[in-house]
Structure 1
Amino acid sequence: MAIAADLTGRLRAALDREGALALFRGAVQHESVTGNEANFVAYLQDKMHGLGLTGLQTAEFLPGRPNIWAERKGAGQGKRLLFIGHTDTVHVDGWREHWAGTEREDPFGAAVIDNAVWGRGSGDLKAGISASLAALSLLDRAGIRLAGDVAFAFVGDEESGQPGTGVSAGIKHFVSRIEAGEVERPDFTVYVEPTRLSVYPAQIGFFIADITITGKSAYFGVPELGKDALRASHAAMTALWKHSDAIAARAEHKLVGRSFLLITGLTGGGYIAVPERCSLSLIRKLLPGESLDVAAADIEKTVRDAITDPEIQVEFAYPAGRDHALGGTAAEIDETAREVRMLSAEMAAALAGRGMVEGAPFWSEQPFFVNRLGIPAVYCAPGDIRNCHTYEEHVDVEEYLAGVVGFAAFMARYCGVIE
């Protein structure tokens, strides 16, 4: 069946605003700080069952920490579309104290203030998860039957910050099932990280390096007997900042900008003594096409060349391995691809001024599809990454509802519809 030109108008007319908003607020109200994903998964299981999804499964990627996935099989020949997002949120330390005595005090209260839903996880990324499920419900209300399949998968352990967590254990478990043939491969994937309804076909890569510089302590009156780790750290930082300028000058990516490194921490020193040990931490931004292995080797060489005293020891550690042992790779797909243009157009139709094609200034789990599985993927969802992980986390209600309409329209356009 041909899809009517006024699809967006038809979907808007059928939208159950209160029901879609209730789904979103209920998601925020189910606390799921990394490690406690099961609380939110139980909520999702109930809602996904209510949508009549088939193949509904949960499986633990770590003890007590489940993923969940299911699908709506199409009634004809059409493409398979996957919506995926992470169920965990960052911590709420200090939230209640910051908002004490206000409507925002409960980080999981999902208060609606100034036509926005407030709370931890509202933007990152329960608005996206809720909008994708509400979009399928909207198609049902509008009487639109899909030819292709729409699948949903919600995984844990994306966020970092909690001890022993944040290594993408959930998505590693899920993509391994795709590789094993236990879960059907999608033709296209939308990862519902917050983008303000823009479409992100490219994202940065990153790694974190912890550098330990060890010299030899000595009493301050006889510094010549020591090896000053703090002085060596100064030399290393000077060289690293110069290296950052050099890599930034190499190239600029149209969507994600330039590479650089940022020194994020320096600790060490001595008490009335030559400092024996210092530790540096840095994060390196990478562009699509840059190798993590090469970039890490360049940083190690830069530091070792800057510290000329052979008696000062330097050690490197990379604590944030994701889809790579050292960190997370950058990824991109063709920004002019039909699917990208289609999703962009539907979001622009759903809300004026949205649907821009941009690059992700963050790392999330798109590379597991693009780089590991060879499946095209983008980010797109309601919410603004700039207020996520902060006390200001919130999502505009109208943007969220536009996301529901936009996702529903994209499902229909991409998967096709039947009589």
Structure 2
Amino acid sequence: MTVESDLFGRLRAALDGDAAIDLFRGAIHRDSITGNEANVVAYLADAMRKLGLSDVTTADFLPGRPNVWGERKGAGGGKRLLFIGHTDVVHVDGWRENWAGTEREDPFGAAIVDGAIWGRGAGDLKAGITSSLAAMALLDAAGIQLAGDVSFAFVGDEESGQPGTGVSAGIKDYVARMEAGEVERPDFVIYVEPTQLAVYPAQIGFFITDITITGRSAYFGVPELGKDALRASHAAMSALWKHSEVISARAEHALVGRSFLLITGLSGGGYIAVPEKCELSLIRKLLPGESLDQAAAEIEAAVRGAIDDPDIAVDFSYPAGRDHALGGTAAEIDAGSPEVAMLSQAIGSALSGRGTIQGAPFWSESPFFVNRLGIPAVYCAPGDIRNCHTYNEHVEIEEFLAGVIGFAAFMARFCGTVD
């Protein structure tokens, strides 16, 4: 028997699947729509203390909105690993109506249906949070002591669906504590966004641009007295679509594809009059290495170049600043690094066909580590991003339990063990 098969044999024999599932379902039961993170943080802090983690700390990143973190100190001589994820979930508008009269009616009921656990936040990302904690419990049950440290941090304000929220205030506070030396830096980070247990060493960047085009209204019978903002917006959109084709043709990233922009909203018009104002919204996808500042400047130049009337004003705003004032930067680490390979192998051994190396088609908070702190980070966790934020949010139980085993195996391999 190989050392690898011996490790997985011990982990599978020691796994208490019911306890891990109960931990997961309990987290879903706690409504933690963005702004209400305290509800689930109290639950997680209690679970972390029961697990015997040391220095379990809760601290507000904004009034009444706490983060929580803690760690398991190893025997010494090993590397330090961090599992991190966001505690907040998106709204549940329409969920009850969609599932009325079924076991899935309660968005926080954590119903078990057809071998999966359903509910808001199941995939995004309470499966990831609880599978990482359950992995530590599994190592204890298997009698495996780590040489290195494993830390856990669960932060708020990642989701952006609620007014005045979703600017990554939670992780900004946590990273600032790390920079100040209050929290120890890890050697490697797993951010537990849902990946179906793939490993994502690269992710896209993004920014949102709101464009306000202001002309001058006039009665419809004398349109020559006005300045038509709606006509100007047509010229702007044509220029933006052409610009999207140009940036898409520049380069293709092996894991995250090509850049583009998508116009996501248009509003404007007048009542039997020349439209005075029109508002556009767009989102720009960026590849690793692309500059947000340069990309924004190109968009502004494209719009201003299309609207050549000096009497029409054009204003730009960027409402979704994250790790950059304009938005969120793209990030990548070496997909062939030993840590990525080790995690891929651990997950693949836990569930056949998983642990593949892919790119994140979303933005989340790993750039705070990769770009700001220079610490390698990946995304990996149970859950399918395609059903998150929908009425169909669920996680397969088999996948969740494989995540528990895979994370435990990676902890043992990365941090080292003590006989």
Q: TM-score, normalised by structure 2?
A: 0.99
Structure 2 residue matching 1:385: 3-state secondary structure: coil
**Residue 151 of structure 2: aligned partner:** 151
Instruction: Give 1:418 shift.
Output: 0.4
Structure 2 residue 326 is matched with structure 1 residue 335: no
Q: Deviations over 1:267-291 (max 9, x none)?
A: 0001111100000000000000000
Instruction: Give 1:145 shift.
Output: 0.3
Gaps of 5+ in 2: none
Q: Deviations over 1:43-73 (max 9, x none)?
A: 0011000000001111000000000000000
**Residue 59 of structure 1: aligned partner:** 59
Q: Deviations over 1:353-375 (max 9, x none)?
A: 10010000000000000000000
**Counterparts of residues 203-214 of structure 1 (less than 5 Å):** 203-214=203-214
**Counterparts of residues 128-139 of structure 1 (less than 5 Å):** 128-139=128-139
**Residue 182 of structure 1: aligned partner:** 182
For 1:107 and 1:394, how far apart are their aligned partners in 2? Answer: 11
For 2:3 and 2:80, how far apart are their aligned partners in 1? Answer: 18
For 2:166 and 2:3, how far apart are their aligned partners in 1? Answer: 42
Structure 2 residue matching 1:316: 3-state secondary structure: strand
Instruction: Give 1:8 shift.
Output: 1.6
Please identify runs of 4+ aligned residues in structure 1 that moved more than 3 A.
2-5
Structure 2 residue matching 1:178: 3-state secondary structure: helix
Q: How many pairs does the alignment contain? A: 418
Structure 2 residue matching 1:323: 3-state secondary structure: coil
**Residue 68 of structure 1: aligned partner:** 68
**Residue 218 of structure 2: aligned partner:** 218
Structure 2 residue matching 1:290: 3-state secondary structure: coil
**Counterparts of residues 17-416 of structure 1 (less than 5 Å):** 17-416=17-416
Structure 2 residue matching 1:264: 3-state secondary structure: strand
Alpha-carbon contact 1:213-1:277 (below 8 Å) kept? yes
Alpha-carbon contact 1:3-1:413 (below 8 Å) kept? no
Letter in 2 for 1:217: S
For 1:51 and 1:8, how far apart are their aligned partners in 2? Answer: 21
For 1:6 and 1:345, how far apart are their aligned partners in 2? Answer: 15
Letter in 1 for 2:146: L
Instruction: Give 1:4 shift.
Output: 4.6
Alpha-carbon contact 1:199-1:340 (below 8 Å) kept? yes
Letter in 2 for 1:27: A
Instruction: Give 1:161 shift.
Output: 1.0
Letter in 2 for 1:385: I
Structure 1 residue matching 2:341: 3-state secondary structure: helix
Structure 2 residue matching 1:18: 3-state secondary structure: helix
For 1:333 and 1:321, how far apart are their aligned partners in 2? Answer: 22
Letter in 2 for 1:303: V
Q: Deviations over 1:310-369 (max 9, x none)?
A: 100000000000000000000000000000000001111111110010000000000000
Structure 2 residue matching 1:381: 3-state secondary structure: coil
- Judged with a 3 Å threshold, the aligned counterparts in structure 2 of structure 1 residues 92 and 24 are, in CA distance, closer, same or farther, namely same
For 2:218 and 2:163, how far apart are their aligned partners in 1? Answer: 35
Letter in 2 for 1:14: A
Alpha-carbon contact 1:215-1:228 (below 8 Å) kept? yes
Instruction: Give 1:76 shift.
Output: 2.3
Instruction: Give the CA RMSD over aligned residues.
Output: 0.8
For 1:17 and 1:270, how far apart are their aligned partners in 2? Answer: 61
- Judged with a 3 Å threshold, the aligned counterparts in structure 2 of structure 1 residues 204 and 4 are, in CA distance, closer, same or farther, namely closer
Structure 2 residue matching 1:398: 3-state secondary structure: helix
**Residue 6 of structure 1: aligned partner:** 6
Gaps of 5+ in 1: none
Structure 2 residue matching 1:184: 3-state secondary structure: coil
For 2:217 and 2:9, how far apart are their aligned partners in 1? Answer: 73
Alpha-carbon contact 1:191-1:379 (below 8 Å) kept? yes
Structure 2 residue matching 1:128: 3-state secondary structure: helix
For 1:242 and 1:393, how far apart are their aligned partners in 2? Answer: 36
For 1:218 and 1:159, how far apart are their aligned partners in 2? Answer: 42
Structure 2 residue matching 1:401: 3-state secondary structure: helix
For 1:260 and 1:144, how far apart are their aligned partners in 2? Answer: 47
Structure 2 residue matching 1:387: 3-state secondary structure: coil
Q: TM-score, normalised by structure 1?
A: 0.99
Structure 2 residue matching 1:284: 3-state secondary structure: strand
Instruction: Give 1:13 shift.
Output: 1.2
Structure 2 residue matching 1:411: 3-state secondary structure: helix
For 2:45 and 2:215, how far apart are their aligned partners in 1? Answer: 55
Q: Deviations over 1:67-94 (max 9, x none)?
A: 0000000012100000000000000011
Structure 2 residue matching 1:378: 3-state secondary structure: strand
For 1:236 and 1:227, how far apart are their aligned partners in 2? Answer: 15
For 2:18 and 2:310, how far apart are their aligned partners in 1? Answer: 68
Letter in 1 for 2:173: H
For 2:180 and 2:63, how far apart are their aligned partners in 1? Answer: 21
Letter in 2 for 1:203: Q
Q: Deviations over 1:161-180 (max 9, x none)?
A: 10110000000000000000
Structure 2 residue matching 1:58: 3-state secondary structure: strand
